[in-house]
């Protein structure tokens, strides 16, 4: 792996509003994916109506959005150079002794994962972590009625 990080993926939102628009854009595709998957599985209309809930469509939208997140992959040195210039909050997963790193920068922070050999697994896990830690909380409406903790 060279010292220059490579990128892959589509969504690299710079603001929460931009991220929300990208997330919302995945809704129609999620509906199509779920419908076509159910059709391929031989699910009839009655079972589809019974089993495919808004939660199922939302899970598909979450997965689509996460899978489109732009990530950077590079050496430990490339990551360290980026990290030295990044002023936001960073959540790191993995071992500092591993020489390959994948990271995603969101409007609210960054998530980082080290990996040795299984690049695809590291990228997939990082994208899910980024969605769960950085985007989902930013997308949830503030609960004005929640008691102060």
List of residues 6+ apart from 42 with CB closer than 8 A: none
**Nearest-angstrom CA–CA distance, 19 and 13:** 5
Say how many Å lie between the first and final Cα of the chain, rounded.
47
Report residue 26 as tokens: 């995945």
Q: How confident is the model at residue 146, as a pLDDT? A: 44
Rg (CA), the chain: 18
Helix 54-67 and helix 119-130, axial crossing angle in degrees, nearest 10: 120
- H-helix or E-strand spanning residue 106: strand 100-106
Side-chain half-sphere exposure of 149, counting CA atoms within 13 A? 1
Q: Per-residue pLDDT tens, the chain, 149 aa: give them.
A: 445 779 999 999 999 999 999 999 999 999 999 999 999 999 999 999 999 999 999 999 999 999 999 999 999 999 999 999 999 999 999 888 888 999 999 999 999 999 988 989 999 999 999 999 999 998 887 544 544 43
Strand order in the sheet with 100-106: 6-8, 71-75, 100-106, 109-115, 90-93
Which of 22, 135, 49 has the alpha carbon at shortest distance from 30? 22
Residue 149 has what pLDDT? 36
Task: Name residue 7's beta-bridge partners.
Answer: 72
């Amino acid at each position: 792996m060279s010292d220059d990080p490579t990128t892959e993926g589509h969504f690299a939102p710079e603001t929460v509003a931009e991220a929300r628009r990208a997330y919302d854009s995945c809704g129609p595709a999620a509906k199509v994916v779920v419908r076509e998957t159910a059709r391929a599985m031989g699910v009839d209309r009655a079972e589809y109506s019974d089993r495919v809930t808004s939660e199922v469509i939302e899970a598909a939208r979450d997965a689509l959005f996460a899978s489109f997140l732009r990530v950077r992959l590079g050496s430990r040195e490339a990551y360290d150079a980026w990290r030295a210039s990044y002023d936001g909050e960073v959540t790191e997963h993995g071992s500092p002794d591993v020489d390959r790193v994948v990271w995603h920068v969101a409007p609210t922070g960054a998530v980082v994962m080290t990996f040795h050999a299984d690049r695809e697994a590291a990228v997939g896990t990082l994208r899910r972590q980024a969605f769960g830690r950085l985007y989902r909380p930013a997308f949830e409406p503030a609960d004005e009625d929640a008691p102060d903790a």
